[in-house]
Protein backbone atom coordinates (compact mmCIF):
# COMPACT_ATOMS: atom_id res chain seq x y z
CA UNK A 1 0.00 0.00 0.00
CA UNK A 2 1.38 3.40 -0.99
CA UNK A 3 2.12 5.92 1.75
CA UNK A 4 -0.06 9.02 1.62
CA UNK A 5 1.90 12.27 1.19
CA UNK A 6 -0.11 15.23 2.40
CA UNK A 7 -0.49 18.48 0.47
CA UNK A 8 -0.39 21.82 2.28
CA UNK A 9 -4.18 21.83 2.39
CA UNK A 10 -4.21 18.27 3.75
CA UNK A 11 -1.71 19.21 6.45
CA UNK A 12 -3.92 22.06 7.64
CA UNK A 13 -6.81 19.61 7.95
CA UNK A 14 -4.55 17.20 9.83
CA UNK A 15 -3.56 19.99 12.21
CA UNK A 16 -7.22 20.76 12.87
CA UNK A 17 -8.31 17.20 13.64
CA UNK A 18 -5.19 16.57 15.71
CA UNK A 19 -5.74 19.77 17.74
CA UNK A 20 -9.25 18.55 18.46
CA UNK A 21 -8.10 15.09 19.53
CA UNK A 22 -5.51 16.63 21.85
CA UNK A 23 -8.11 18.99 23.32
CA UNK A 24 -10.27 15.99 24.27
CA UNK A 25 -7.47 14.71 26.50
CA UNK A 26 -7.09 18.16 28.02
CA UNK A 27 -10.85 18.32 28.62
CA UNK A 28 -11.22 14.87 30.20
CA UNK A 29 -8.31 15.07 32.66
CA UNK A 30 -10.27 16.70 35.56
CA UNK A 31 -12.89 13.94 35.35
CA UNK A 32 -10.37 11.12 35.85
CA UNK A 33 -10.85 10.60 39.57
CA UNK A 34 -11.83 7.83 42.01
CA UNK A 35 -15.36 6.55 41.54
CA UNK A 36 -15.86 7.60 37.93
CA UNK A 37 -16.69 4.80 35.52
CA UNK A 38 -14.92 4.35 32.23
CA UNK A 39 -18.37 4.50 30.60
CA UNK A 40 -18.85 8.01 31.99
CA UNK A 41 -15.47 9.08 30.62
CA UNK A 42 -16.54 7.70 27.26
CA UNK A 43 -19.83 9.63 27.34
CA UNK A 44 -18.09 12.88 28.21
CA UNK A 45 -15.53 12.49 25.42
CA UNK A 46 -18.19 11.47 22.92
CA UNK A 47 -20.31 14.54 23.64
CA UNK A 48 -17.29 16.86 23.52
CA UNK A 49 -16.24 15.52 20.10
CA UNK A 50 -19.73 15.65 18.61
CA UNK A 51 -20.31 19.21 19.85
CA UNK A 52 -17.09 20.19 18.05
CA UNK A 53 -18.63 18.98 14.79
CA UNK A 54 -16.49 15.85 14.55
CA UNK A 55 -16.96 12.09 14.89
CA UNK A 56 -15.34 9.81 17.51
CA UNK A 57 -13.47 7.51 15.14
CA UNK A 58 -13.36 4.31 17.26
CA UNK A 59 -17.17 4.15 17.50
CA UNK A 60 -18.30 1.22 15.32
CA UNK A 61 -14.81 0.89 13.79
CA UNK A 62 -14.67 -2.80 12.88
CA UNK A 63 -17.34 -3.32 15.54
CA UNK A 64 -15.68 -1.43 18.41
CA UNK A 65 -18.65 -0.37 20.60
CA UNK A 66 -17.44 2.87 22.21
CA UNK A 67 -16.02 6.29 21.33
CA UNK A 68 -12.68 6.06 23.15
CA UNK A 69 -10.42 3.32 24.50
CA UNK A 70 -9.85 3.16 28.27
CA UNK A 71 -7.01 0.84 29.28
CA UNK A 72 -6.61 0.44 33.05
CA UNK A 73 -3.60 -1.05 34.89
CA UNK A 74 -2.78 -4.37 33.18
CA UNK A 75 -4.74 -3.49 30.03
CA UNK A 76 -2.25 -2.81 27.23
CA UNK A 77 -4.64 -1.22 24.73
CA UNK A 78 -8.15 -1.23 23.26
CA UNK A 79 -9.92 -1.38 26.62
CA UNK A 80 -13.68 -1.01 26.15
CA UNK A 81 -15.36 1.55 28.45
CA UNK A 82 -17.95 0.05 30.75
CA UNK A 83 -19.21 -0.11 34.34
CA UNK A 84 -15.77 -0.37 35.93
CA UNK A 85 -15.26 2.39 38.52
CA UNK A 86 -11.75 3.73 38.87
CA UNK A 87 -9.89 3.44 42.17
CA UNK A 88 -7.26 5.75 43.63
CA UNK A 89 -3.86 4.64 42.41
CA UNK A 90 -5.12 3.07 39.19
CA UNK A 91 -3.33 4.10 36.02
CA UNK A 92 -5.36 4.55 32.85
CA UNK A 93 -4.58 5.23 29.23
CA UNK A 94 -7.25 7.20 27.38
CA UNK A 95 -6.95 6.86 23.62
CA UNK A 96 -8.81 9.40 21.48
CA UNK A 97 -9.23 9.56 17.71
CA UNK A 98 -11.31 12.20 15.94
CA UNK A 99 -12.59 12.44 12.38
CA UNK A 100 -12.93 16.05 11.25
CA UNK A 101 -13.43 17.24 7.68
CA UNK A 102 -12.42 13.82 6.37
CA UNK A 103 -9.15 13.50 8.30
CA UNK A 104 -8.21 11.50 11.40
CA UNK A 105 -6.22 12.64 14.45
CA UNK A 106 -5.03 10.14 17.06
CA UNK A 107 -3.41 10.51 20.49
CA UNK A 108 -3.42 9.01 23.96
CA UNK A 109 -2.19 9.85 27.44
CA UNK A 110 -1.63 8.18 30.80
CA UNK A 111 -3.50 9.43 33.86
CA UNK A 112 -3.04 8.48 37.51
CA UNK A 113 -6.37 8.21 39.32
CA UNK A 114 -6.36 10.33 42.46
CA UNK A 115 -2.97 11.79 41.58
CA UNK A 116 -0.96 9.26 43.64
CA UNK A 117 0.94 6.60 41.73
CA UNK A 118 3.11 3.94 43.28
CA UNK A 119 6.83 4.45 42.61
CA UNK A 120 6.76 1.47 40.22
CA UNK A 121 3.81 2.88 38.26
CA UNK A 122 5.33 6.35 38.15
CA UNK A 123 8.60 5.01 36.78
CA UNK A 124 6.78 2.95 34.14
CA UNK A 125 4.83 6.00 32.95
CA UNK A 126 7.93 8.21 32.96
CA UNK A 127 9.92 5.70 30.91
CA UNK A 128 7.03 5.27 28.48
CA UNK A 129 6.77 9.03 27.92
CA UNK A 130 10.49 9.41 27.45
CA UNK A 131 10.65 6.45 25.07
CA UNK A 132 7.94 8.04 22.93
CA UNK A 133 9.96 11.23 22.61
CA UNK A 134 13.15 9.35 21.86
CA UNK A 135 11.23 7.73 19.00
CA UNK A 136 9.89 11.10 17.85
CA UNK A 137 13.44 12.48 17.81
CA UNK A 138 14.29 9.91 15.11
CA UNK A 139 11.71 11.37 12.70
CA UNK A 140 12.94 13.37 9.72
CA UNK A 141 13.22 13.32 5.93
CA UNK A 142 15.26 10.42 4.50
CA UNK A 143 15.56 8.78 7.94
CA UNK A 144 14.37 5.20 8.37
CA UNK A 145 11.14 4.12 10.07
CA UNK A 146 13.06 1.35 11.85
CA UNK A 147 15.12 3.92 13.77
CA UNK A 148 12.00 4.99 15.68
CA UNK A 149 11.36 1.59 17.23
CA UNK A 150 15.07 1.00 17.74
CA UNK A 151 15.32 4.09 19.94
CA UNK A 152 12.28 2.97 21.94
CA UNK A 153 13.39 -0.61 22.56
CA UNK A 154 16.97 0.46 23.34
CA UNK A 155 15.72 2.78 26.09
CA UNK A 156 12.66 1.05 27.55
CA UNK A 157 13.71 -2.53 26.90
CA UNK A 158 17.47 -2.74 27.05
CA UNK A 159 18.20 0.09 29.48
CA UNK A 160 15.22 -0.26 31.82
CA UNK A 161 14.32 -3.93 31.37
CA UNK A 162 10.67 -3.42 30.47
CA UNK A 163 8.70 -5.43 27.96
CA UNK A 164 8.16 -3.47 24.73
CA UNK A 165 4.99 -4.73 23.05
CA UNK A 166 5.51 -5.93 19.49
CA UNK A 167 1.96 -7.19 18.83
CA UNK A 168 0.71 -3.65 18.14
CA UNK A 169 2.37 -0.76 16.36
CA UNK A 170 2.03 2.83 15.23
CA UNK A 171 0.46 3.48 11.85
CA UNK A 172 0.00 5.90 9.02
CA UNK A 173 -3.01 8.17 9.42
CA UNK A 174 -4.78 10.76 7.32
CA UNK A 175 -7.85 10.12 5.20
CA UNK A 176 -8.02 6.72 6.87
CA UNK A 177 -7.74 5.70 10.52
CA UNK A 178 -5.05 3.09 9.84
CA UNK A 179 -2.89 3.04 6.73
CA UNK A 180 0.72 2.60 5.64
CA UNK A 181 3.34 2.75 7.01
CA UNK A 182 3.40 0.51 10.06
CA UNK A 183 5.65 1.92 12.79
CA UNK A 184 7.09 -0.87 14.95
CA UNK A 185 8.21 0.02 18.47
CA UNK A 186 10.88 -2.69 18.32
CA UNK A 187 12.45 -1.62 15.04
CA UNK A 188 16.01 -2.07 13.84
CA UNK A 189 18.27 0.82 12.95
CA UNK A 190 18.75 1.41 9.24
CA UNK A 191 15.71 -0.70 8.35
CA UNK A 192 12.33 0.21 6.98
CA UNK A 193 10.84 2.87 4.75
CA UNK A 194 12.59 6.19 4.29
CA UNK A 195 10.49 9.03 5.67
CA UNK A 196 9.42 11.86 3.37
CA UNK A 197 7.99 15.32 4.10
CA UNK A 198 4.21 15.20 4.16
CA UNK A 199 3.97 11.76 5.76
CA UNK A 200 1.85 11.53 8.92
CA UNK A 201 1.84 8.60 11.32
CA UNK A 202 1.41 7.73 14.97
CA UNK A 203 4.06 6.63 17.43
CA UNK A 204 2.43 4.90 20.41
CA UNK A 205 4.72 2.63 22.42
CA UNK A 206 3.11 0.18 24.82
CA UNK A 207 5.56 -0.58 27.62
CA UNK A 208 4.92 -3.41 30.08
CA UNK A 209 6.30 -3.74 33.59
CA UNK A 210 7.06 -7.40 32.92
CA UNK A 211 6.74 -9.54 29.80
CA UNK A 212 6.02 -7.94 26.44
CA UNK A 213 3.51 -10.69 25.72
CA UNK A 214 -0.23 -9.92 25.58
CA UNK A 215 -3.51 -11.80 25.56
CA UNK A 216 -6.79 -10.72 23.95
CA UNK A 217 -9.90 -11.11 26.10
CA UNK A 218 -13.11 -12.75 24.90
CA UNK A 219 -14.54 -9.38 23.82
CA UNK A 220 -12.11 -9.55 20.90
CA UNK A 221 -10.56 -6.17 21.67
CA UNK A 222 -9.11 -5.79 25.16
CA UNK A 223 -5.40 -6.69 25.26
CA UNK A 224 -3.88 -7.43 28.68
CA UNK A 225 -0.39 -8.27 29.86
CA UNK A 226 0.11 -12.02 30.00
CA UNK A 227 1.61 -11.81 33.50
CA UNK A 228 -0.99 -9.37 34.87
CA UNK A 229 1.53 -6.62 35.56
CA UNK A 230 1.10 -2.96 34.65
CA UNK A 231 1.24 -1.51 31.16
CA UNK A 232 1.53 2.10 29.97
CA UNK A 233 1.11 3.78 26.59
CA UNK A 234 1.44 7.32 25.24
CA UNK A 235 0.71 8.38 21.66
CA UNK A 236 1.16 11.31 19.32
CA UNK A 237 0.44 11.89 15.63
CA UNK A 238 3.56 13.13 13.87
CA UNK A 239 4.12 15.03 10.61
CA UNK A 240 7.41 14.64 8.75
CA UNK A 241 8.56 18.13 7.73
CA UNK A 242 11.35 19.41 5.47
CA UNK A 243 13.43 20.12 8.58
CA UNK A 244 12.43 17.25 10.87
CA UNK A 245 9.03 16.74 12.47
CA UNK A 246 5.95 18.41 13.92
CA UNK A 247 3.96 16.86 16.78
CA UNK A 248 0.42 17.51 15.58
CA UNK A 249 -1.28 16.35 18.80
CA UNK A 250 0.85 18.40 21.21
CA UNK A 251 -1.24 20.24 23.78
CA UNK A 252 -0.50 22.78 26.51
CA UNK A 253 0.85 21.16 29.65
CA UNK A 254 1.59 17.80 28.00
CA UNK A 255 4.82 16.10 29.02
CA UNK A 256 7.79 16.65 26.76
CA UNK A 257 11.54 16.49 27.28
CA UNK A 258 13.21 19.52 28.83
Give the model confidence (pLDDT) of 12-30 as tens digits: 999 999 999 999 999 999 9
Name the DSSP class of 256. Answer: -
Cα of 67 vs its chain's centroid, Å: 15
pLDDT value at 172 more than 90: yes
* pLDDT for the residue 115: 81
At 109-166, the pLDDT tens digits run: 999 999 888 999 999 999 999 999 999 999 999 999 999 999 999 999 999 999 999 9
CATH for 130:
3.90.230.10
Q: Does 257 reside within a domain?
A: no
Number of domains present in the structure of the chain:
1
Q: Is residue 126 part of a domain?
A: yes
Q: Is 119 helix (H, G, I), strand (E, B) or coil?
A: helix
Q: Is residue 256 part of a domain?
A: no
1, part of any domain: no
For 156, the domain range is 8-247
Residue 88 counted as domain residue: yes
Per the prediction, the chain carries an average pLDDT of 97
CA distance 167 to 223: 10
Q: Is 96 strand, coil or helix? A: strand
Q: pLDDT tens, 86-97?
A: 999 999 999 999
Q: Could you tell me if residue 139 is inside a domain?
A: yes
Question: Contact at 8 Å (CB) between 99 and 52?
Answer: no
Task: Examine residue 72 and state whether it is found in any structural domain, yes or no.
Answer: yes
Which residues does 222 contact at the CB level (< 8 Å), separation at least 6?
71, 75, 78, 79, 80, 216
Task: Return the H-helix or E-strand segment holding 208.
Answer: strand 206-208
pLDDT at 52: 98
- Global pTM reads 0.97
Residue 2 lies in a domain: no
Amino acid sequence: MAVEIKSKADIEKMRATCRLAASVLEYIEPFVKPGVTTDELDRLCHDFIVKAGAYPSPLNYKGFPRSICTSVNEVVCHGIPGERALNAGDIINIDVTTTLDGFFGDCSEMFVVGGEATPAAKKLIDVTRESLWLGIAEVGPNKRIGDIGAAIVEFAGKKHGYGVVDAFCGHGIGRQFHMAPQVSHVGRRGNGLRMKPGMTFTIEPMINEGTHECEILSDGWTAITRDGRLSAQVEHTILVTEGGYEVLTMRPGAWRPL
